[in-house]
């Protein structure tokens, strides 16, 4: 059965956050009376994330649990979920409460007028509790804008809404690899195709439980390499 909305939730060691997030998503989405599903893509977390989801939501048809026992990584997990989703509209978000579930209805409604809607920390009224991350991410985003000459302020969040059809029409192998750098490539392909992109303000709270998987130095190096590779591919006309 085709659903209106699929929310992709990639997890790794999120057993404490994921039940609260699923409950929060149900609370936000149920009043809209949409046919929706929550697609949990777990990379076989050693902390038992999948077992927690299975135990608490095994009888809930709105929760689809996918456990990957081969391969691991944020970008490929998101692609895995999108390809197995039933919804006409896709929303991707983190599972650590950085991304506010309350923003999803607004993002989905704006898709009536735009091709891609991004939750942005760097438009008016957006921001973060972690001021160091806000500053460093803001500087990096500015560098991306200057390098690619795009109007998009937020190239790193990974909180977005888009039609599944548009995503699947893209060169997925050239986009969905690595970590959060996939989002930079997704935005660049969308921009090159002339898609209308809207940024709406979001505010990142601090993680409720567990530890962030993002290591500042290694992530900075990985993203910079990804940017240089992407710049070369765009010059060569290989990313469309």
Q: What is the pTM of this model?
A: 0.89
Q: Which of 87, 19, 88 is nearest to 50 (CA)?
A: 19
Q: Does domain 3-235 have CATH number 1.10.150.20?
A: no
Mean pLDDT, residues 159-184 taken together: 95
Least confident of 12-16, 101-105, 130-134, 197-201: 130-134
- Structure confidence by residue, pLDDT tens digits, 42-66: 999 999 999 999 999 999 999 999 9
CA dihedral 40, 44, 45, 49 (to 10 degrees): 40
Separation between Cα atoms, residue 10 and residue 95, nearest integer Å? 7
Separation between Cα atoms, residue 97 and residue 118, nearest integer Å? 16
Render 8-58 in DSSP notation, one character per residue.
EEEESS-TTHHHHHHHHHHHHHGGGT--EEEEEEE---TT-HHHHHHHHHT
Secondary structure (3-state) at 203: strand
Q: Tokens for 99? A: 């991304």
Separation between Cα atoms, residue 179 and residue 79, nearest integer Å? 12
Per-residue confidence (pLDDT) for residue 206, from 0 to 100: 76
Per-residue confidence (pLDDT) for residue 231, from 0 to 100: 65
Separation between Cα atoms, residue 105 and residue 2, nearest integer Å? 19
Distant-in-sequence, close-in-space partners of 79: CB < 8 Å, separation ≥ 6: 172, 175, 176
Mean pLDDT, residues 79-104 taken together: 96
Per-residue confidence (pLDDT) for residue 235, from 0 to 100: 56
* Per-domain residue ranges of the chain: 3-235
Q: What is the mean pLDDT of the chain?
A: 90
Tell me, what DSSP letter sits at residue 84? T
């Amino acid at each position: 059965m085709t659903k209106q909305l699929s929310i992709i939730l990639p997890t790794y060691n999120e057993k404490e956050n994921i039940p609260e997030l699923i409950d929060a998503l149900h609370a936000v989405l149920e009043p809209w009376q949409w046919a929706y599903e929550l697609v949990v893509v777990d990379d076989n977390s050693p902390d038992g994330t999948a077992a927690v989801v299975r135990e608490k939501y095994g009888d809930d048809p709105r929760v689809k649990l996918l456990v990957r026992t081969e391969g691991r990584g944020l970008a490929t997990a998101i692609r895995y979920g999108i390809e197995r989703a039933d919804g006409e509209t896709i929303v991707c978000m983190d599972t650590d409460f950085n991304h506010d579930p309350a923003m999803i209805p607004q993002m989905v409604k704006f898709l009536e007028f735009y091709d891609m809607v991004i939750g942005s920390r760097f438009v008016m009224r957006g921001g973060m509790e972690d001021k160091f991350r806000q500053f460093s991410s803001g500087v990096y985003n500015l560098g991306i804008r200057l390098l690619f000459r795009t109007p998009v302020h937020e190239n790193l969040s990974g909180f977005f809404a888009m039609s599944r059809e548009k995503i699947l029409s893209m060169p997925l192998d050239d986009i969905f690899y690595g970590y959060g750098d996939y989002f930079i490539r997704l935005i660049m392909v969308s921009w090159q195709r002339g898609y209308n992109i809207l940024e709406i303000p979001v505010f990142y709270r601090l993680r409720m439980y567990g530890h962030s998987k993002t290591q500042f130095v290694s992530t900075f190096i990985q993203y910079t390499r990804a940017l240089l590779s992407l710049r070369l591919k765009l010059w060569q006309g290989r990313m469309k």
